């Protein structure tokens, strides 16, 4: 199947301006390569600070990557001029976590939604028609169009933000924690809405979340991130039922309310106590110095000399199957 | 009943109303909760359902005005906390009843070292001198997993990670061996792996110190992990209350059932999630009768006018619903 997004070795370094000149900078994304097929939902999970959002911003060229290539529908985004890039921007949209800061409080929702369309010189009659259709589609009455963001609830605001992203008729949508600010009973409404829209417009999603339950429900493929790298990638059933990387196993075991919800009962016993983890991290701190070690070595229950001398790269876990399962792991011990 | 006498803290028919001009918001509309020693009581609800108001009432920090008690009492060791003066309440707050908040960075004072913030409590409530307090603070840090050498004592909050800050908050809360601990969404701001560690810590401390714990969360999974007893709150009323096992195995109230069904997980892949139509009513416009009736699939005429009582079965599983236990196609 055709790929909509192909990334090769994306690296994003944020240059720090420390006292007394430039510091070494912070590598938020450390060489990620991944591909997303058309109409696929790709889930990116990981803890805060692991580089999920930096990666998403990089591939959308909101914050161009420090190195690496992004192919969007076969076109390399890095090679485009600003003007050409603007043409592609329309096809990729992002929905942020907090709908309160995503909507301008001084603009009515109709104005907020018109902005992009006006920029694209869409005639007024079409504009109004499209806004009307989309608002009704996400479950907001068109008669509310002249209201301001504060007059809506959190769930309604998130619906409006989604509708606004759709005004541009995108192919690719990045959903960055789209429901984590919402109430439990509202989350399900928005998730169903996103599923419906995906079918209706044949959208491709990249779903960023820390919630493995949600991602394993929504997505076809899941990539697990740790310290700027993908440590494991697999079709979601496979990742949840037979996680290979020790970090993925730890994440699954940490899901509150019992790992059995993800069908991985045997993980519950694997979770180690804080003291064990802290002691291990303390004793291994020195070995990490060279910068060659596997980033997870610090916490890994399986690590040994091999993990210190070289960092593993993402490799296929097929083990002689004729049909590739798509299960990739970055671990010497998997 | 024996169990009633043993309750460490009892909230009886508590009603709270916030007044803003002509608008009256009934945040709590008569709730009953009992807390026992060595038991974690989870309180689950969505935002605006009255979870946090409940905790501020217990710890005596309800802002008044605009808040006002309309009914009920809070009994702690036979004393009605609502009848105490501010000065009397101060001998309870922090000493016997302590609280851990959601956002540790907001509640730790950034200008003081962690050690100073712990010893402040010890000096005030337990009349310790400087050296005793420091020794005790080192013990406490060890207890919450922040190292036995007391290095963290001389750190400022900004030098600690989110998980460490929450541990420091917990150390402050348990510094005076409280009998009752309120944990208000203590892990919501934390990552999943840290979350589990903090939940385990709270469980461990509960056993160690024999505290009763009120654990507030919006996350059913978290409550399932940590609580012994669970109450579900909706629009200022307890709608269901039971031991954890019974509640999760056989929820009686349609709201509880729908909440559970609406949580996504890998096994529901490909199916539509059950949703609860509409949203939580505002406290100034609570629907008549059963507050859940506009969103309830089982609602009938009676639900619109008659507010159901929280009725218990013999096994202690109580639900406030005219149709408790009835099933339907979710």
Tens-place pLDDT, residues B102-139? 888 888 999 999 999 999 989 988 899 999 999 999 99
Chain A residues within an 8 Å CB radius of B220? 184, 257
Domain that holds residue B202: 2-234
Mark yes or no for CB contact A183/B273 under 8 Å: no
Q: In this structure, are B56 and B183 located in the same domain?
A: yes
In angstroms, the CA B134 to CA A28 distance is 40
Please, what is the average pLDDT of chain A? Answer: 86
Q: In this structure, are B274 and B222 located in the same domain?
A: no
Assess B221–A contact: CB distance below 8 Å, yes or no.
yes
User: Which positions ≥6 away from A198 have C-beta within 8 Å?
Assistant: A39, A41, A205
- Determine the pLDDT at residue B3: 47
- Determine the pLDDT at residue A108: 94
Instruction: Return the residue matching tokens 């002689």.
Output: A320
Mark yes or no for CB contact B265/A262 under 8 Å: yes
* Residue A9: band (very low, low, confident or very high) from pLDDT cuts 50, 70, 90: very high
Q: How close B78 comes to chain A (CA, Å)?
A: 35
Residue that is last in its domain, among B199, B234, B269: B234
In angstroms, the CA B60 to CA B250 distance is 35
Percent of the residues in chain B that have a pLDDT greater than 70, as a whole number: 98
Using an 8 Å Cβ cutoff, are A154 and A99 in contact? yes
Assess B279–A contact: CB distance below 8 Å, yes or no.
yes
In angstroms, the CA B164 to CA A82 distance is 44
- Which range (A257-266, B19-28, B317-326) has the least confidence? A257-266
Over residues B208-217, mean pLDDT: 94
Is 70 exceeded by the pLDDT of residue A116?
yes
Chain B residues within an 8 Å CB radius of A214? 264
Q: In this structure, are B220 and B148 located in the same domain?
A: yes
In angstroms, the CA A226 to CA B192 distance is 13
Q: In this structure, are B255 and B228 located in the same domain?
A: no
Is 50 exceeded by the pLDDT of residue B309?
yes
- Determine the pLDDT at residue A261: 45
Taking the CB of residue B222, how many other CB atoms lie within 10 A of it? 23
Strand order in the sheet with A67-72: A26-37, A3-14, A67-72, A75-76
Four-residue CA torsion sign, B259, B263, B268, B274: positive
Q: In this structure, are B188 and B307 located in the same domain?
A: no
Is 90 exceeded by the pLDDT of residue A302?
no
- Determine the pLDDT at residue A315: 82
Over residues B146-156, mean pLDDT: 85
Short-list A313, A226, A309, CA closest to A33: A313
Query: Looking at A46-188, which runs of residues are DSSP E strands?
Result: 67-72, 75-76, 92-95, 172-176
Chain B residues within an 8 Å CB radius of A216? 265-266, 269
- Per residue, what are the HEC states of B16-71? EEEEECCEEEEEEEEEEEEECCCEEEEEECCCCCCHHHHHHHHCCCCCCCCEEEEE
Taking the CB of residue A306, how many other CB atoms lie within 10 A of it? 13
Percent of the residues in chain B that have a pLDDT greater than 90, as a whole number: 52
Closest CA in chain A for residue B218: A184
- Determine the pLDDT at residue B2: 43
Angle at A273 between CA A270 and CA A278, to 5 degrees: 120
Q: In this structure, are B80 and B118 located in the same domain?
A: yes
* Residue A20: band (very low, low, confident or very high) from pLDDT cuts 50, 70, 90: low
* Residue B234: band (very low, low, confident or very high) from pLDDT cuts 50, 70, 90: very high
Percent of the residues in chain A that have a pLDDT greater than 70, as a whole number: 89
What would the DSSP string read from start to end of B94-152?
TTTEEEE-S-HHHHS-TTS-HHHHHHHHHHHHH---HHHHHHHHHHHHHHTTS-SS-GG
Q: What is the CATH number of the domain that holds B70?
A: 3.40.50.300
Angle at A111 between CA A107 and CA A117, to 5 degrees: 140
Q: Which of A141, A184, A234 to mutate to test the interface with B (most CBs of B within 10 A)?
A: A184
Neighbouring-strand partners of residue B232: B44, B240
Q: How many angstroms separate the most distant Cα atoms in chain B? A: 67
Distance, C-alpha A45 to centroid of its chain? 7
Instruction: Return the residue matching tokens 């070292």.
Output: B113
Residue B100 lies inside a defined structural domain of this protein? yes
Residue B318 lies inside a defined structural domain of this protein? yes
* Residue B96: band (very low, low, confident or very high) from pLDDT cuts 50, 70, 90: very high
Is 60 exceeded by the pLDDT of residue A65?
yes
- Determine the pLDDT at residue A45: 93
- Determine the pLDDT at residue A319: 60
Mark yes or no for CB contact B192/A191 under 8 Å: no
- Per residue, what are the HEC states of B213-238? EEEEECCHHHHHHHCCEEEEEECCEE
Mark yes or no for CB contact B192/A214 under 8 Å: no
Q: How close B129 comes to chain A (CA, Å)?
A: 31
Q: Which of A274, A296, A299 to mutate to test the interface with B (most CBs of B within 10 A)?
A: A274
Please, what is the average pLDDT of chain B? Answer: 89
**Integer angstrom CA distances of residue A204 from A238, B210, B226:** 21, 52, 38
Strand order in the sheet with B97-100: B97-100, B180-184, B212-217, B39-44, B229-234, B237-243, B318-319, B311-312
Query: For residue A178, what are its two tokens?
Result: 């789209």
* Residue B240: band (very low, low, confident or very high) from pLDDT cuts 50, 70, 90: very high
| Region for residue A263 given its phi and psi (left: phi exceeds 0; alpha: psi -120 to 50; beta: otherwise) | left
In angstroms, the CA A157 to CA A176 distance is 15
Residue that is last in its domain, among B203, B234, B265: B234
In angstroms, the CA A96 to CA A41 distance is 17
Query: For residue B178, what are its two tokens?
Result: 């409280």
Using an 8 Å Cβ cutoff, are A65 and A131 in contact? no
Q: In this structure, are B206 and B273 located in the same domain?
A: no
As for how many domains chain B has, the answer is 2
Which three-class secondary structure state does DSSP give residue B249? helix
Query: For residue A29, what are its two tokens?
Result: 């994304």
Closest CA in chain B for residue A183: B46
Residue that is last in its domain, among B201, B234, B267: B234
Residue B246 lies inside a defined structural domain of this protein? no
- Determine the pLDDT at residue B211: 93
Chain B residues within an 8 Å CB radius of A256? 192, 195-196, 199, 219, 221-222, 224-226
Mark yes or no for CB contact B259/A189 under 8 Å: no
Q: How close B229 comes to chain A (CA, Å)?
A: 14
Q: Does domain A38-61+81-233 have CATH number 3.40.50.300?
A: yes
Q: In this structure, are B328 and B198 located in the same domain?
A: no
- Determine the pLDDT at residue B113: 93
Q: Which has more confidence, B240 or A268?
A: B240
Query: For residue A4, what are its two tokens?
Result: 């909509």
State the burial class of residue A75 (Cβ atoms within 10 Å of its Cβ: 0-12, 13-18, 19+): middle
Chain A residues within an 8 Å CB radius of B269? 216-217, 236-237
Q: In this structure, are B171 and B111 located in the same domain?
A: yes
Angle at B56 between CA B52 and CA B59, to 5 degrees: 140
Give me the torsion for CA of A132, A137, A141, A142, rounded to 10°: 0
Which three-class secondary structure state does DSSP give residue A127? helix
Is 50 exceeded by the pLDDT of residue B1?
no
Assess B263–A contact: CB distance below 8 Å, yes or no.
yes
From-to residues of CATH 3.40.50.300 in chain A: 38-61+81-233
Over residues A228-272, the pLDDT tens digits come to 999 999 999 889 888 889 899 888 888 887 644 444 444 545 556
Q: Which of A159, A178, A183, A190 to mutate to test the interface with B (most CBs of B within 10 A)?
A: A183
- Determine the pLDDT at residue B32: 92
Instruction: Return the residue matching tokens 């009943």.
Output: B1
Q: In this structure, are B94 and B222 located in the same domain?
A: yes
Over residues B255-262, mean pLDDT: 91
H or E element at residue A161: helix A154-166
* Residue A321: band (very low, low, confident or very high) from pLDDT cuts 50, 70, 90: low
Q: In this structure, are B87 and B200 located in the same domain?
A: yes
Q: Which of B47, B203, B264 to mutate to test the interface with A (most CBs of A within 10 A)?
A: B264
| Region for residue A320 given its phi and psi (left: phi exceeds 0; alpha: psi -120 to 50; beta: otherwise) | left
Q: In this structure, are B168 and B278 located in the same domain?
A: no
Q: Which has more confidence, A158 or A271?
A: A158
Taking the CB of residue A268, how many other CB atoms lie within 10 A of it? 13
Among the partner-chain residues B145, B195, B262, the one whose CB lies closest to the CB of A185 is: B262
């Amino acid at each position: 199947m055709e790929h909509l997004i192909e990334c090769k070795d994306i690296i994003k370094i944020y240059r720090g301006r420390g006292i007394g000149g430039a510091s070494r900078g912070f590598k938020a994304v450390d060489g990620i390569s991944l591909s997303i097929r058309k109409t696929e939902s790709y889930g990116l999970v990981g803890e805060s600070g692991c580089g999920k959002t930096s990666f998403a911003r990089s591939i959308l060229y909101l914050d161009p990557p420090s190195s690496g290539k992004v192919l969007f529908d076969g076109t390399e985004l890095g090679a485009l001029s600003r003007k050409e890039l603007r043409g592609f921007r329309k096809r990729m949209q992002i929905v942020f976590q907090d709908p309160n800061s995503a909507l301008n409080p001084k603009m009515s929702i109709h104005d907020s939604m018109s902005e992009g369309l006006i920029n694209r010189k869409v005639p007024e009659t079409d504009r109004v028609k499209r806004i009307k259709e989309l608002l009704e589609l996400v479950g907001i009455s068109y008669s509310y169009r002249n209201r301001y963001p504060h007059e809506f609830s959190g769930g309604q605001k998130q619906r409006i933000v989604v509708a606004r992203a759709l005004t541009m008729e995108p192919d690719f949508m990045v959903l960055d924690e789209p429901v984590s600010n919402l109430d439990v009973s509202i989350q399900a409404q928005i998730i169903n809405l996103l599923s419906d829209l995906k079918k209706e417009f044949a959208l491709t999603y990249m779903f960023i979340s820390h919630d493995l339950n949600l991602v394993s429900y929504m997505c076809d493929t899941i990539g697990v991130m740790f310290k700027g790298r993908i440590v494991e990638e697999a079709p979601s059933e496979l990742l949840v039922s037979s996680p290979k990387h020790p970090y993925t196993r730890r994440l699954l075991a940490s899901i509150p309310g019992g790992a059995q919800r993800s069908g991985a009962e045997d993980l519950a016993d694997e979770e180690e106590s804080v003291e064990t983890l802290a002691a291990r991290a303390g004793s291994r701190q020195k070995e990490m110095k060279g910068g060659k070690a596997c980033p997870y070595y610090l916490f890994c229950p399986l690590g040994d000399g091999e993990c210190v001398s070289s960092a593993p790269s993402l490799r296929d876990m097929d083990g002689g199957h004729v049909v590739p399962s798509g299960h990739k792991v970055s671990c010497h011990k998997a | 009943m024996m169990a009633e006498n043993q309750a460490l803290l009892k909230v009886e028919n508590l009603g709270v109303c916030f007044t803003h001009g002509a608008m009256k918001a009934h945040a709590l509309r008569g709730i009953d909760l009992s807390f026992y020693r060595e038991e974690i009581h989870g309180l689950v609800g969505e935002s605006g359902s009255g979870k946090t108001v409940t905790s501020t009432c217990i710890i005596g920090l309800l802002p008044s005005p605009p808040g006002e008690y309309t009914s009920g009492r809070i009994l702690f060791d036979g004393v009605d906390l609502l009848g105490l003066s501010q000065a009397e309440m101060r001998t309870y707050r922090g000493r016997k009843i302590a609280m851990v908040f959601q956002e540790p960075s907001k509640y730790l004072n950034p200008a003081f070292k962690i050690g100073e913030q712990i010893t402040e409590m010890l000096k005030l409530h337990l009349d310790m001198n400087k050296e005793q307090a420091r020794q005790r603070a080192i013990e406490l840090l060890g207890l919450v997993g922040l190292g036995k050498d007391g290095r963290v004592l001389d750190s400022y909050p900004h030098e600690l990670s989110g998980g460490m800050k929450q541990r420091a908050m917990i150390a402050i809360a348990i510094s005076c061996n409280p009998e009752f601990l309120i944990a208000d969404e203590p892990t919501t701001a934390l990552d999943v792996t840290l979350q589990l560690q903090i939940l385990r810590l709270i469980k461990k401390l509960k056993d160690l110190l024999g505290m009763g714990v009120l654990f507030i969360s919006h996350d059913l999974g978290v409550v399932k992990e940590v609580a012994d007893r669970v109450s579900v709150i909706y629009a200022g009323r307890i709608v269901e209350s039971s031991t954890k096992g019974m509640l999760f195995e056989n929820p009686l109230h349609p709201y509880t059932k729908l909440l559970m069904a609406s949580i996504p997980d890998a096994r529901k892949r490909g199916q539509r999630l059950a949703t609860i139509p509409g949203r939580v009513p505002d406290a100034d416009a609570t629907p008549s009768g059963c507050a859940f009736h506009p969103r309830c699939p089982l609602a009938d005429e009676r639900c619109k006018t008659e507010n159901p009582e929280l009725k218990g079965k013999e096994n202690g599983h109580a639900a406030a619903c005219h149709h408790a236990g009835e099933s339907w196609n979710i």
